[in-house]
Amino acid sequence: MSAVAVEPVVRVENLCLGLQSGEPVVDGVTFSVGPGEIVGLVGESGSGKTTTALSLLGYTRRGIVVRGGTVEVGGESVLGRDRRALRGLRGNTVSYVPQDPGGALNPSMRVGDAILDVLRAHRRGGAAAESVRAALERVELGRDPRFAGRYPHQLSGGQQQRVTIAMACVCDPPVAVLDEPTTGLDVLTQDRILAELRRLRDEDGMAMVYVTHDLAVVSQRADRITVMYAGRVVENGQASDVLERPRHPYTRALVEAIPDFRKPRALRGITGVSVGVGEWPNGCAFAPRCAYEQTRCHETVPVLEETVPGHHVRCLRWMELDLQAGERSNGRAAGVAVESAPLLEVSGLEARYRSSRSGAPAVADVSFAVEQGRCVALVGESGSGKTTIGRCIAGLHVPAAGTISFDGVPIAGTARRRPLEVRRRIQIVFQNPFESLNPRQRVRSSIIRPLRVLRRLSRAEAEREVGELLERVKLPARLGERFPVELSGGERQRVAIARALAARPDLLVCDEVTSALDVSVQAAVLELLQELQRDLRLSMLFITHNLGVVACIADSVLVMDRGSLCETGTVSEVLAQPSHDYTRRLLAAAPCLPDGAL
């Protein structure tokens, strides 16, 4: 931004927040946002990014207290104000777009009334209905005059999010705080929302603080990027500068964790687990996971230093490190091009939901094959039927028509009717790691179960293998004694993978296994799956909506649109020369890094 001299609309200085019990959550965060500027606030879960963003609204979550620092929005100080003053401020000077619009909109309030509510709180009388219409028009929901009379449940996720954005900008606040507004939306919707936000900024000059864990999402839209780790800002600068010349090892690791279909590379996860509140080490919080760490890193907390004007980094070694050299491999390390017999063959598959009142099947006439040792990706938006296909293969959903053959033999629709050997050889890993492990069982017993049931091992034999399996997924054997609540999302997903591997499967169905994980954790899980596939000669059906992930893990790809396959081919063909219009749109919408990025 050229306007350096212009007074910033948001100024956060030395903000310190902590738990009531004393542990710091946010420590000395300083940043500012100029008028009409989009700042990306990036970090893994637990980095304090949302806590920081919420403080711009004068809000702290329960149990969190302000320890020091100032937050100024639109020239007014926010911290320490009473409720009344904050009410005048919120929505008028600074507004908020939540992560989950379905949960944020009042289900018993028509969307027009919800927008009117915000107006009434800040504006007196006059042309209210007109303003509501204008607000909906701004987010491109104005065409249908009846739209304002709808209830949230009648809208799609994308429409709901646009309504919250309309609510956020109806009073023309100079600043909006966006908390992961596109997480949970599919790629096409995400792209539309991002374009909309960009347009709002360009037309109305609204400044935005965009909170996300995914650098790729903000990389093309943000003017500046602030990277947080363990409650501190570790790097902060112009977006292009941060992405092209990251000075902090953490930023570089984050960039390297992004799967980008245009620049496929061997993904590298960040080793270790993000530190939680109350676990901060003495020195640099990133040191335990850093590849460049030295003794002194563990002793002193580095200060935020200016590298070039407008670019700050918090690293003791930023001057000596050259973080440019990231070797770029060609994604899939030379896919073994040996023609092999198909292990799984699906032909003419049709599946319906029992509850669906309309006659349209969820999946119609889908045929494909997965060859031995290959990874086939199944791509599509939410609701395209890709998960249903995975469930049919795993024996959890009975197809209405068509056949599924495994190793040349047609198999039954329900798992119970399949022979033991088939059940053992096909394993599935589910999307949500927080729901895929029984919370009442120790990790060990979750893994023992398939060993006992599917491989008929004795208890003693099964016990012996647990440690081996945990090691296989790169978890320490002692984790077996833990309960799932004690594990992070990434660790849980590894346990779920170990549970599937326990059966010694030939085919692994991975249903959106990384979509609930942070980008850095996703990279580590993908790395693991790749390695397992190579070492165990696993065949995989990888269900995902992320084309970047497809590029780095799959050999061939199937694109689904509204229940049927619209394009199939090898990954390189489909991603480089998509023939179907839908694939082209998916590719155009996929978030990726700008050309110059590391």
Partner 1 sequence: MSDALRFLRTPSGAIGGGIVLFVVLVAALGPYLAPHDPTAPVGIPLTGSSSHAWLGTDFLGRDVLSRVLNGGRSVIGYAAAATVLAYLVGMAIGLIAGYTRSMVDPVLMRTVDVMLAFPPLLFLLVLIAGAGTSITVLIIGVAAIQAPAISRIVRTATLEVSTRGYVEAGIARGERAFAVVGREVLPNILAPVLVDAGLRFTYSILIIASVNFLGLGLQPPNSDWALMISENRTYIQLNAFSVLVPAAMIGLLTIGINLTGDAIARSLGRSYVPRTTRSVTS
Say whether residue 436 binds partner 1 (CB under 8 A).
yes
d(CA 122, CA 132): 14
Q: Choose, by CB under 8 A, the member of 416, 460, 535, 595 that binds partner 1.
A: 416
d(CA 409, CA 392): 16
d(CA 504, CA 494): 15
Say whether residue 483 binds partner 1 (CB under 8 A).
yes
Choice between 144 and 471, CB closer to partner 1: 471
Say whether residue 454 binds partner 1 (CB under 8 A).
yes
Choice between 270 and 547, CB closer to partner 1: 270
Choice between 187 and 284, CB closer to partner 1: 284
Say whether residue 485 binds partner 1 (CB under 8 A).
yes
Q: What is the β-pairing status of strands 207-212 and 76-77?
A: unpaired
Say whether residue 48 binds partner 1 (CB under 8 A).
no
| Eight-state DSSP code of residue 90 | B
Choice between 160 and 520, CB closer to partner 1: 520
Say whether residue 269 binds partner 1 (CB under 8 A).
yes
Check if the beta carbon of residue 466 is closer than 8 Å to that of residue 441. Answer: no
Choice between 135 and 496, CB closer to partner 1: 496
Check if the beta carbon of residue 235 is closer than 8 Å to that of residue 323. Answer: no
Interacting residues of 464 by C-beta distance below 8 A, sequence separation 6+: none
Say whether residue 45 binds partner 1 (CB under 8 A).
no
Say whether residue 256 binds partner 1 (CB under 8 A).
no
Please list, residue by residue across 534-558, b when 16 or more beta carbons sit within 10 angstroms of its beta carbon and e when fewer do. Answer: eeeebbbbbbbbbbbbbbbbbbbbb
Check if the beta carbon of residue 422 is closer than 8 Å to that of residue 406. Answer: yes
Stretch that binds partner 1, among 226-234, 258-266, 269-277, 313-321 (CB under 8 A): 269-277
Say whether residue 498 binds partner 1 (CB under 8 A).
no
Q: Choose, by CB under 8 A, the member of 7, 144, 435, 461 that binds partner 1.
A: 435
Say whether residue 245 binds partner 1 (CB under 8 A).
no
Q: Choose, by CB under 8 A, the member of 62, 143, 357, 440 that binds partner 1.
A: 440
Choice between 37 and 527, CB closer to partner 1: 527
In angstroms, what is the minimal distance from the CB of 369 to partner 1? 21
Choice between 163 and 510, CB closer to partner 1: 510
Say whether residue 486 binds partner 1 (CB under 8 A).
yes
d(CA 56, CA 179): 12
Stretch that binds partner 1, among 134-142, 412-420, 573-581, 590-598 (CB under 8 A): 412-420
Choice between 479 and 538, CB closer to partner 1: 479
d(CA 425, CA 393): 11
| Eight-state DSSP code of residue 38 | E
Check if the beta carbon of residue 539 is closer than 8 Å to that of residue 339. Answer: no
Check if the beta carbon of residue 40 is closer than 8 Å to that of residue 212. Answer: yes
Say whether residue 268 binds partner 1 (CB under 8 A).
no
Say whether residue 420 binds partner 1 (CB under 8 A).
yes
Stretch that binds partner 1, among 82-90, 368-376, 444-452, 458-466 (CB under 8 A): 444-452
Say whether residue 518 binds partner 1 (CB under 8 A).
no
Crossing angle of the two packed helices 489-501 and 459-472, in degrees rounded to 10: 130
Sign, CA dihedral 151-154-157-162, equals negative
Stretch that binds partner 1, among 324-332, 356-364, 399-407, 422-430 (CB under 8 A): 422-430
Between vectors from CA 588 to CA 584 and to CA 593, what angle results, nearest 5°? 140
Stretch that binds partner 1, among 116-124, 247-255, 337-345, 430-438 (CB under 8 A): 430-438
Q: Choose, by CB under 8 A, the member of 116, 392, 437, 575 that binds partner 1.
A: 437
Which helix (H) or strand (E) is 500 found in, with range?
Answer: helix 489-501
d(CA 49, CA 562): 36
Reading the block at residue 16, the tokens are: 């310190």
Q: Choose, by CB under 8 A, the member of 122, 150, 262, 449 that binds partner 1.
A: 449
Say whether residue 491 binds partner 1 (CB under 8 A).
yes
Reading the block at residue 464, the tokens are: 């012996």
The DSSP string of 171-192 is: T--SEEEEESTTTTS-HHHHHH
d(CA 587, CA 503): 36
Q: What is the β-pairing status of strands 401-406 and 342-351?
A: antiparallel
Please list, residue by residue across 151-190, b when 16 or more beta carbons sit within 10 angstroms of its beta carbon and e when fewer do. Answer: ebeebebbbbbbbbbbbbbbbebbbbbbbbbbbbbbbbbb
Q: Choose, by CB under 8 A, the member of 103, 149, 272, 594 that binds partner 1.
A: 272
Give the binding-site size for partner 1 (rule: CB under 8 A).
51
Choice between 120 and 459, CB closer to partner 1: 459
Crossing angle of the two packed helices 489-501 and 443-455, in degrees rounded to 10: 20
Identify residues 278-307 at the interface with partner 1 (CB under 8 A): 279, 288
Say whether residue 494 binds partner 1 (CB under 8 A).
yes
Binding mask 354-393 for partner 1 (x = CB under 8 A): ----------------------------------------
Residues in touch with partner 1 (CB under 8 A):
269, 271-273, 276, 279, 288, 394-396, 415-416, 418, 420, 423, 426-428, 430-432, 435-441, 446, 449-450, 453-454, 474-476, 478-479, 482-483, 485-486, 488, 490-491, 494, 496, 499, 503, 524, 528
